[in-house]
Structures are given as structure tokens and as C-alpha cells.
Amino acid sequence: MTVAMNALHRSLGVHRVLEPAGVLPQAAHRLDADPRIGPDEVRIAVQRLNLDAASYRQLAEEHDGDGDRVRAAVLGIVGSRGKMHNPVTGSGGMLIGVVDEVGDDSPLGLEPGQQVATLVSLTLTPLRLTDGLAQWDGRSEQVPTAGTAILFARSIAAVLPDDLPQEVALAVLDVCGAPAATERVVHRSGHRPSVAVLGAAGKSGCLSLAAARDARAGRLVGVVRDEREATALRAARLADEVVVADATDPLAVAAAVGQPVDVTVVCVDAPGAEHGAVLATADGGTVVFFSMATSFSAAALGAEGMAADVTMLVGNGYTPGHAALAMDLYRHSPGVRSLIEPRVRAS
């Protein structure tokens, strides 16, 4: 292997892949989570994980909401895979911790003692837990814990702001790709495009509405699950219209949204929202699937079956500037705070 190829492999973490050899860490079945770092790596002393919402929902449903069983399942996944990579949803989450050791050749610019949030998925982050998850009751997406995580040269981490509680920063940063993707698509969609957000009262949903508004979207529709969420979203004043529909019922979503919109952003944490999103979107429009519970085949075949001429985008968790954008939306939008704070308190 050439020196350049070796450097590329290391920067992506390929040297940490145990099985199957040669794939990237995200696709790997198992990673080497040895806490000893190479010269281009950084070790984080882990304080808290934020499990991806779709992953936590799947684990809670599989184990009938039994916290002990959910905790055992997470321990089992991390122990066997060397990373928190839910084998059913394929999703992970992210973590916060303190920079413990920085290799001499790490380009990340981190210093020991800094408190950071990793902005790369737990599905590719070598992770070792050392407390048996003793501090966690298995009933929340946020997991207080102890252990070590490894960052590669191409990983991203944000130094945590000191004006916001840790738990809030973690929750907002976990979904910071959604408002960034929404802003970008709204800017590219012509003059004041109309936007619908499914799962609009959730964390990524309310941030996406706020981003769409700031990007000068036209009509803004928030689709929520029930009247309780509708009341909260109306009070938050983030949408022009708040409608109630089960996102997994395509005809109900289309009826609730009414006039099809130019852009639909899927922020629900449950499977089955693909067809409703396509049906709610006007021909020539764009659907952003931020949800990790999205099925590529359901989206593609569903759109084909409906003869829907829509562009479908996978919500990339990374966009340059995404962390700062999401934190600013949280700081400056009382509506966003009113929806996210109670979720963080409950988690």
C-alpha cells in the first residue's frame, strides 16, 4: 500500500476494523475499541451517549419498555461490536466526553481537558464502556456512562458551548444535520418554497421548521402525531399551519397537508413515513429523508408506484457549519426551546 493510501485508511479508521477486513468502520460488523491511541487519533473519556431516536424506539419496543433488558441490549451491542451500532435500525447516535489524550499527528485541533461532542455517528466510533451502564435505567435516549471512544483524523467534534446544559447541547447536536439540510434545500428550491415537516414537534422537526423560516420559505406546515403535540407546536409559533396525521398513513398525511408542498422533511422516528412524504410533495419538489427509520426501497418503489416526480434526498448528518447553525437556532428561537427542553428533561 502506498504511503498516501495508508494515510487515507488511517484517517477514516479502516485500521480499527476487525470484521470484515477492508470495509469502512461504519459498514464494519466489529471494531477494535482498544483505548490505546495511534499518533493520528484522539481518545475521549465518555460521559454520556445520546442514542439515536429511531434506535432507542426500536430497542424499547423490542424489549417491551423494560429498562433492564434495554440496558442489557445496549451493553451487548457495544461489547460485541466495539461501537453502538443498532443492527436493526443501522443507526447509532453521538456522545459527549472530555478529551483525554491527543496523538501528536491528530489534525483535529483538540486539547486534553476540553469537553466535546462527537459529530460523527456512534455507528463508526470505537467505543468501550467501563461502568456496565450502572448509571442508566434504560428508559431514556440519553445514557450517562463512563468509558472511552476513539476519534480518527477525519472525525468531527465540537467543543461544547458553556452557555447551554450538556444534555441540551447533546440533543441538539445529535440532530444538527436536519436544519442544515433543510436550509440548503429551501435555498435551492426557488422563490419562497412551501415546506412540510413530518414529526414537526420533535427535536429535528422543530429545528427544521425554524431553519426553513430563516431561509425564507413560504407556507410552512407542521405535521404532528396528536392534539397534544399540535397544541405545543402551535404555541411555539414555528409553522403557519399545524395539522394532525399519522405519518405512516399516506392518505391521511396527504389530506392533512392539502395543497402539495415544494419541500417535505421527514423527521419522525418511526418506520413507514415514506409514502405519505412523497404524496404530500408536489411534482418537481424535494423530499428530505432525515429519519433513520427510512426504507430506501419503500421510498424509491413507492414514488415510482405513485408516478411521483420528486427528488429524494438522504438527510446527510454532515453539512459544513451544521453544529453552529443548530445551536444558534436553539439559542434564538423560544419556540424551538419550548419543544426541545421538555424532551431533554424527560430523557
Nearer residue to ligand NAP within complex by CB, 102 or 253: 253
> Which region, judged by CB under 6 A, interacts with ligand NAP, from 18-26, 62-70, 126-134, 288-296?
288-296
Query: Cα 266–268–270 angle (5° rounding)?
Result: 125
Nearer residue to ligand NAP within complex by CB, 30 or 343: 343
Q: Is 53 in the site for ligand NAP (CB under 6 A)?
A: yes
Q: Parallel, antiparallel, or unpaired for β 142-151 and 30-31?
A: unpaired
In the set 175, 215, 254, 287, which binds ligand NAP (CB under 6 A)?
A: 175
Burial (CB count <10 Å: 0-12, 13-18, 19+), residue 45: middle
> Which region, judged by CB under 6 A, interacts with ligand NAP, from 72-80, 95-103, 109-117, 171-179?
171-179
Nearer residue to ligand NAP within complex by CB, 229 or 274: 229
Burial (CB count <10 Å: 0-12, 13-18, 19+), residue 87: exposed
Q: Is 202 in the site for ligand NAP (CB under 6 A)?
A: yes
Q: Is 52 in the site for ligand NAP (CB under 6 A)?
A: yes
The minimum distance between CB 103 and ligand NAP, in angstroms, equals 27
Sheet with 195-198: list strands edge to edge: 241-244, 220-224, 195-198, 261-266, 281-289, 311-314
Cell triple for 221: 406546515
Q: Is 242 in the site for ligand NAP (CB under 6 A)?
A: no
Q: Where does 63-191 have alpha helices with state H?
A: 67-81, 166-174, 177-188
Sheet with 42-51: list strands edge to edge: 127-129, 142-151, 42-51, 93-102, 115-118, 157-159
Nearer residue to ligand NAP within complex by CB, 37 or 70: 70
Count of residues engaged in binding ligand NAP, rule: CB under 6 A: 29
Q: Is 335 in the site for ligand NAP (CB under 6 A)?
A: no
Q: Is 270 in the site for ligand NAP (CB under 6 A)?
A: yes
Distance CA 206, CA 199 (A): 8
Q: Is 344 in the site for ligand NAP (CB under 6 A)?
A: no
The helix or strand, by DSSP H or E, that contains position 46, with its residue range, turns out to be strand 42-51
Nearer residue to ligand NAP within complex by CB, 97 or 205: 205
CB 60 within 8 A of CB 137: no
> Which region, judged by CB under 6 A, interacts with ligand NAP, from 23-31, 74-82, 106-114, 169-177?
169-177
Nearer residue to ligand NAP within complex by CB, 37 or 236: 236
The minimum distance between CB 295 and ligand NAP, in angstroms, equals 12
> Which region, judged by CB under 6 A, interacts with ligand NAP, from 28-36, 47-55, 128-136, 149-157?
47-55
Distance CA 63, CA 69 (A): 6
Distance CA 317, CA 194 (A): 23
Nearer residue to ligand NAP within complex by CB, 246 or 328: 246
Site for ligand NAP in 302-321 (CB under 6 A): 315, 317
Nearer residue to ligand NAP within complex by CB, 15 or 63: 63
Q: Name beta bridge partners: 242.
A: 222
Q: Parallel, antiparallel, or unpaired for β 42-51 and 142-151?
A: antiparallel
> Of 328, 339, 52, whose CA–CA distance to 180 is shortest?
328
In the set 110, 149, 292, 326, which binds ligand NAP (CB under 6 A)?
A: 292
Q: Is 268 in the site for ligand NAP (CB under 6 A)?
A: yes
Q: In the complex, which residues of this chain contact ligand NAP (CB under 6 A)?
A: 52-54, 91, 174-175, 177, 199, 201-205, 225, 229, 246-248, 267-270, 290-293, 315, 317, 343
